[in-house]
Amino acid sequence: MGVSGSGKTTIATRLADRLGRPFAEADDMHPPANVAKMAAGTPLTDEDRMPWLATVRDWLTAQAEQGHSAVVTCSALRRVYRDVLREAAGGVTFVHLHGDPELLAARMKARKGHFMPPSLLRSQLDTLEPLEPDEDGVRVPIDGTPDEIVAEALRLLEQVAHRHAE
């Protein structure tokens, strides 16, 4: 989870590979109207997001029902959005990728062919609600290389797994 430009796709695909888990990009699950709205520079409303979040949740549930733990990218900026995702069968652990707003903006400006314009970064940062203590998850800084970020995410996820085992 995290705002646009935080590296969700890069890190999630590497995590999925390292863990041997199925992967999905939640951006690909947006209905065309949502994509068009964001591409036009208009932030989504909760009304826009809820059906999309339900689709992501249902994908996670389908994976769990097939006996798979999975990795999915999703901004999941607000607690209420994460609550929808946490309804998925099998449980959800969040990896919150966070970084300096200037780094995020630079990354967004450098990428090509993405529907999310850099102008919406401020809106996402203003919307972001950090993970709360009762939410399973870890907070991972994005100021390293992708391999360093993945290693830190795996280290922190291992700590969460040990807490659950106790």
pLDDT per residue rounded down to tens, the chain (166 residues): 998 878 899 999 999 999 999 999 998 999 999 989 888 878 788 999 999 999 999 999 999 999 999 999 999 999 999 999 999 999 999 999 998 877 777 766 665 655 555 566 777 888 899 999 999 999 999 999 999 999 999 999 999 887 777 7
On whether the CB atoms of residues 166 and 28 are closer than 8 A, the answer is no
Q: Which positions ≥6 away from 73 have C-beta within 8 Å?
A: 8, 9, 12, 24, 25, 26, 27
Q: Residue 48: helix, strand or coil by DSSP?
A: helix
CATH architecture assignment, domain 8-164 = 3-Layer(aba) Sandwich (3.40)
Indicate the domain borders of the chain. 8-164
Q: Which positions ≥6 away from 68 have C-beta within 8 Å?
A: 21, 22
* Single pTM value for the model: 0.86
User: What pLDDT sits at residue 44?
Assistant: 83
